[in-house]
Amino acid sequence: MIAALWLLGREETVHEPDTRASTSALGVAEAALLDNKPPPALAVVTARMRSPLARKTFWNGDDAVQCMRACHVTAWTAGLGALVL
């Protein structure tokens, strides 16, 4: 069951490279820290899109998601092992 949830929860994302070349130190820091994405709108819930979970970019994974998924699998496996023993 844990392996099935792990595999079903995976999502492959493709990050398109930024074609703009930024040579200034501020541009490099902005690209590294902010990933050149604009901040979200002030209103989280709007009449047009009722939930942030409906946005296509909400579920994009990264290294932190992989780490959290590994922690959850470890915790569930430990809990299952404790119940079996």
Please name the residue that has the structure tokens 């999502």: 11
Q: Dmax of the chain from CA atoms? A: 59
Angstrom distances, CA of residue 46 to CA of 38, 51, 54, 65: 18, 8, 12, 26
Distance of CA 6 to the CA centre of its chain: 15
- Each of the 85 residues of the chain gets a pLDDT tens digit; together they read 777 777 776 665 555 655 555 556 556 566 556 566 666 666 656 667 666 677 777 777 778 888 888 899 999 999 999 999 8
Amino acid letter, residue 6: W
Q: Is the pTM of this model over 0.85?
A: no
